[in-house]
Amino acid sequence: MWASELIRRKRDGAGLCPEEIEHLIRGYVEGDVGDEQMAAFCMAVFFQGMSDEETSSLVKAMLSSGDTVDLCGIEGVKVDKHSTGGVGDKISICLAPLVAACGVPVPMMSGRALGHTGGTLDKLSAIPGFRTEQDITTYQRLVETHGLALIGQTPELAPADRRLYALRDVTATVESVPLIAASIMSKKLAEGIDALVLDVKVGSGAFMKTLSEAQALAEVLSAIGWGANKPTRVILTDMDRVLGRMVGNANETWEAIEVLQGGGPDDVRELTLILGAEMLILGQRVGSEAEGRTLLMEAIDSGKGFEKFQEVVAAQGGDPRAVEQRSGLPSAPHQEEIGAEQEGTITAIDAEKVGWAAMRLGAGRGRASDSIDLGVGIEMMVDIGDCVKRGEVVARLSHRDGYGTVEARKLLQQALIITNEGFIAQRPLVLDRIEEGKQ
């Protein structure tokens, strides 16, 4: 089978059989299929899509491209959470230690920045000394000893996805439902989990812009999870505005820590409780969402969630004292305030433009080889429904010597839609759910 022929057929809308998909993925991992060919294949999939059978075959091919972890010897139901990515989405950093503190093991493998969305690994890398790159043996030990691991994908697990993840980021093929589903589920099925909670973002700051697109992705993810005998719950949440106030790496990490310490923005705390309760239900720790929320709040109020976070920070080489104060994390040396261009009500926020603005400052990657400035970022001072006067501060940039500020300022002003309309109601945080048992 020639890779170019398979790419041509997919480009022209033909379906591929499992053996052909396996051939492409194996060839990519082994070096027989080049980046330029796989980029062409991803673009063909982006435009032509894949059937359910093709998507399932892609997941299996990516999963079988490497090893899988066995966590069966560790007591408890191992539950992970994954988000499809949004602007200001730092939920994993506060969610995972809270759930672990409540007695459910959380083996969490996360990713780096993808497109205009930040990556959990980049945010955790803002903690001095914290090592996200761990081998499988250490990963297993972390879960067994601490009930929690916050690591990146190891080279042995789904290596096809590890390479495709970076390739999709720089070839404008991130938003494809089959490619998103295969990326997420190949990693999750490889990491040894028993159950999974998925947060599918919907809106301007998400890869899925409409509810119908997000529902289609959620149904595919749910079917793959249940098909692999992994109970899976999917929550569709709003990303038509920034989640929390902070966008960047170190500042988002600190905002998540604030939640663990009993503070933080209302929406970040609320989504943490929603997703955490689902994880505790799947982990058989509680029988209802109300019980789960109560247990999570007890872990916040008692400080056990923050203690668990400090515990795993130390276990992964970080300085647990650095996360006690904002000054322990990187920061940019300069700040610039952005004023409203007119008076009125903020009727919409294009969260994607906010994400791109943070990238222009150096908080994300334009190319796979780019480095990230962990200290730069954006603080949003307003939200949908707020009334502002001309010149009133709507955002604050943290930057390094003016790098990217002209572009970032322009993008932020474009992102804020200010009109003379009256009261504007925000969308609910949770837009839909795919509950247990739906496939």
Let me know how many helices (H) and strands (E) the chain has, helices first.
Answer: 16, 13
| Closest residue by Cα to residue 276 from 300, 293, 251, 256 | 293
Active-site option among 56, 83, 110, 183: 183
Is residue 82 part of the annotated active site? The answer reads yes
Active-site option among 60, 90, 116, 187: 187
| Closest residue by Cα to residue 178 from 159, 194, 164, 158 | 164
Q: What is the CA radius of gyration of the chain?
A: 21
Is residue 12 part of the annotated active site? The answer reads no
55-73: string of b/e by CB count within 10 Å (b at 16+)?
bbbbbbbbbbbbeebebee
- Residues forming a β-bridge with 360: none
CA angle 167/250/392 to nearest 5° reads: 105
Cα separation of 395 and 379, whole Å? 6
Tokens for 302, please give them: 């008692």
Cα separation of 284 and 52, whole Å? 30
Handedness of CA 411, 412, 416, 418 (dihedral sign): negative
Is residue 183 part of the annotated active site? The answer reads yes
Active-site option among 122, 161, 169, 373: 161
Active-site option among 82, 188, 230, 409: 82
Cα separation of 72 and 418, whole Å? 54
Which residues are catalytic, by number? 82, 161, 168, 183, 187
